[in-house]
Amino acid sequence: MNLPVYTLLVVLLQPLIIFFLFHCRKKIFFVPIEEGDPIPDPMKKSMLFFAFVISSFLGIAQTPDPVVDAIVKEATENSQLETLAHALLDGIGPRLVGTPQMQQAHDWALATYSGWGIAARNEKWGEWRGWERGISHIDMVRPRTKSLEGMQLAWSPGTGGKTITAEVIAIPDATDSIAFQKWLPSAKGKFIMTSMNQPTGRPDYNWEEFGTKESVEKMKTARTAQTEAWTDRIKKTGYTIKTLPGALEKAGAAGIVMSNWSKGFGVNKIFEAFTKKIPTVDISLEDYGLLYRLAESGSKPAISIRTDSKEMGMVPTFNTVAEIKGTEKPDEYVMLSAHFDSWDGGTGATDNGTGTLTMMEAMRILKKAYPHPKRTILVGHWGSEEQGLNGSRAFVEDHPEIVQHLQALFNQDNGTGRVINITGQGFLYAYEYIDRWLSKVPEAIRKPIETKFPGTPGGGGSDFASFVTAGAPAFSLSSLNWSYFNYTWHTNRDTYDKIVFDDVRNNAILTAILVYMASEDPVTTSREKSVLPINSKTGLPGTWPEQKKATRKGG
């Protein structure tokens, strides 16, 4: 039923109910009232209230938009978020580009959409080095036995089915690159530690809560000095942090041992290895510190490592795209967007599992609550965002007809939190349509959202930028932090348990309503760009960020 019909019902039904209650008041309220008597005031009030309740109950008086209501109802009463999260994050796991798990995720998405009656396809956009992570077992075997918390980095070579045991030493503080070259042969047969030994495993917020002002300052000053000295130590080798592992490998090292602390309790960032034959492992701050101190004190600690991994040659890479065809303007598009790939230290639960879940759930809800959209609704689950927005850049290159007729795109990619920021991405009139669409969002979800117009156009960071740089109205639904940068972003702790499902549910409702409103809008959105402020670095007028090419062959 549409809005005018509802309004008509309200106008007709409410007086009828009141009239009915007035005439049947004796029977309903069991109060003897003589004909002609004035109705007592409390009675009048309760009757009016009763009439109001009945009409509200019929869903009349406060239903400004039945589609919005249906979206909220479906998201709240029939949420599939937990089920989807379990299948994707627990069942399939991390989704590093080029891995079999990434492919499984694409296939799972197709099957899931098909189960909801939504057409979906995997679009090939390039190829990548195929690799599959196996086990990482790391133990200290001298001076005592202890299992260590650590794992191989992405694309690390394995140990060929063997367990390798060797002494672990730190790179030396050589006076210069010549001295380092002289030292290099002593790396042979050893595991080499290439990271600084952090002076504290407590995050700064913990120091600031409990430390005295003096001890906090002392710790920070010492740490800064130590960090500078370590940077210098690397520099003096004549290599960079990217080229040093290769040099150690060439010198016959048994493996690279590092620790990329993420400045929270027990959390490390896990990126890619730079070795070609020997394993590179990341060890937790606590265990790395233990090995480092033992090495420094002359205890000659030894560890054994077994890592399995499989090289699989070049493999095709995809985006998953699903579609609900438009009825009136099928050649105009409203898009939902979130990258599908992840780093693989955890399961990519908040980067970008939650963005993925938001978009999938919003699509499912839209198919139920708004099955015949005016414009075509598309969702893009992008591949290889982590290596440079490659999936979405490729899509923009491959589908100029969609980019040209894009009404709006909504991307979410900064964690599990409820959305609190939307900017106009530099589009001069974005305020007009975004504000209008937002007005239909339930107050509890809308109110915390700060908007900034016209804002600055995003040149990178996540997939909306691939569209913004091409001049198409694409927006980022930006989330509340929830300790994203220290605790989950690209870390070994980015797992299911960090998801705040209520916030993700809010985001699915928000996205579905924005998509519905953008699709229904009688007006095509303006793409007029605002005049950008003077660039403070160059002193020249600001320029729109450039569209960058997708890397189609990587790894």
Distances (CA, A) of 109 to 241, 355, 450: 38, 14, 32
CB of 128 to Zn ion, least distance (A): 17
Interface with Zn ion by CB under 5 A: which range of 75-83, 203-211, 350-358, 434-442? 350-358
CB of 462 to Zn ion, least distance (A): 6
Question: Nearest-CA neighbor of 3 among 52, 51, 61?
Answer: 61
Tokens coding 18: 């009141």
Distances (CA, A) of 282 to 9, 231, 287, 302, 504: 66, 18, 10, 16, 31
Contact (Cβ atoms closer than 8 angstroms) between residue 494 and residue 356:
no
Q: Which is nearer to Zn ion, 194 or 352 (CB)?
A: 352
CB of 357 to Zn ion, least distance (A): 13
Q: Which is nearer to Zn ion, 476 or 530 (CB)?
A: 476
> Distance of alpha carbon 464 from its chain centroid, rounded?
13
Spell out, one character per residue from 364 to 403, where the chain touches Zn ion: x when CB under 5 A holds, - when not: ----------------------------------------
What part of residues 508-537 is at the interface with Zn ion (CB under 5 A)?
none
What part of residues 239-258 is at the interface with Zn ion (CB under 5 A)?
none
Q: Which is nearer to Zn ion, 332 or 351 (CB)?
A: 351
Interface with Zn ion by CB under 5 A: which range of 154-162, 190-198, 326-334, 413-421? 413-421
Q: Which is nearer to Zn ion, 157 or 391 (CB)?
A: 391
Dihedral-angle region of residue 356 (phi above 0 means left; psi in -120 to 50 means alpha; beta otherwise)? alpha
Q: Which is nearer to Zn ion, 255 or 353 (CB)?
A: 353
Question: Nearest-CA neighbor of 219 among 206, 230, 233, 235?
Answer: 206
Task: Assess 476 for contact with Zn ion (CB under 5 A).
Answer: no
Interface with Zn ion by CB under 5 A: which range of 51-59, 270-278, 399-407, 409-417? 409-417
Among 99, 280, 350, 352, binds Zn ion (CB under 5 A): 352
Interface with Zn ion by CB under 5 A: which range of 49-57, 263-271, 347-355, 362-370? 347-355
Q: Which is nearer to Zn ion, 260 or 352 (CB)?
A: 352
Q: Which is nearer to Zn ion, 353 or 454 (CB)?
A: 353
Task: Assess 80 for contact with Zn ion (CB under 5 A).
Answer: no
The 3-state secondary structure of 315-360, one letter per residue: EEEEEEEEEECCCCEEEEEEEEEEECCCCCCCCCHHHHHHHHHHHH
Tokens coding 51: 């009439």
CB of 339 to Zn ion, least distance (A): 6
Q: Which is nearer to Zn ion, 284 or 352 (CB)?
A: 352
Contacts of residue 100, Cβ cutoff 8 Å, sequence gap at least 6: 130, 132, 312
- Beta-bridge mates of residue 199: none
Among 413, 463, 494, 521, binds Zn ion (CB under 5 A): 413
CB of 259 to Zn ion, least distance (A): 23
The count of chain residues that interact with Zn ion, using the rule CB under 5 A, is 3
Dihedral-angle region of residue 225 (phi above 0 means left; psi in -120 to 50 means alpha; beta otherwise)? alpha
Question: Nearest-CA neighbor of 470 among 525, 527, 541?
Answer: 527
CB of 341 to Zn ion, least distance (A): 9
CB of 484 to Zn ion, least distance (A): 10
Question: Nearest-CA neighbor of 514 among 414, 405, 419?
Answer: 419
Task: Assess 351 for contact with Zn ion (CB under 5 A).
Answer: yes
CB of 338 to Zn ion, least distance (A): 8
Tokens coding 147: 């299992």
Q: Which is nearer to Zn ion, 197 or 476 (CB)?
A: 476
Task: Give the integer Cα–Cα distance in Å for 417 and 499.
Answer: 8
> Distance of alpha carbon 42 from its chain centroid, rounded?
55
Tokens coding 339: 């990258």
Interface with Zn ion by CB under 5 A: which range of 128-136, 161-169, 344-352, 494-502? 344-352
CB of 413 to Zn ion, least distance (A): 4
Interface with Zn ion by CB under 5 A: which range of 149-157, 345-353, 400-408, 540-548? 345-353
Q: Which is nearer to Zn ion, 288 or 464 (CB)?
A: 464
Q: Which is nearer to Zn ion, 352 or 506 (CB)?
A: 352
Q: How is 185-244 classified by DSSP, letter by letter?
A: GGGTTSEEE-S---S-SS-HHHHHHHS-HHHHHHHHHHHHHHHHHHHHHHHHTTS-TTTH
Cα dihedral angle (322, 327, 332, 334), rounded to 10 degrees? -50
CA-derived radius of gyration, the chain: 30
Interface with Zn ion by CB under 5 A: which range of 146-154, 184-192, 198-206, 348-356? 348-356
CB of 501 to Zn ion, least distance (A): 19
Interface with Zn ion by CB under 5 A: which range of 131-139, 251-259, 406-414, 497-505? 406-414
Task: Tell me how many degrees the CA angle 323-325-328 measures, rounded to the nearest 5.
Answer: 150
Q: Which is nearer to Zn ion, 282 or 413 (CB)?
A: 413
Question: Nearest-CA neighbor of 383 among 101, 118, 102?
Answer: 102
Interface with Zn ion by CB under 5 A: which range of 164-172, 349-357, 387-395, 510-518? 349-357
Footprint on this chain of Zn ion (rule: CB under 5 A): 351-352, 413
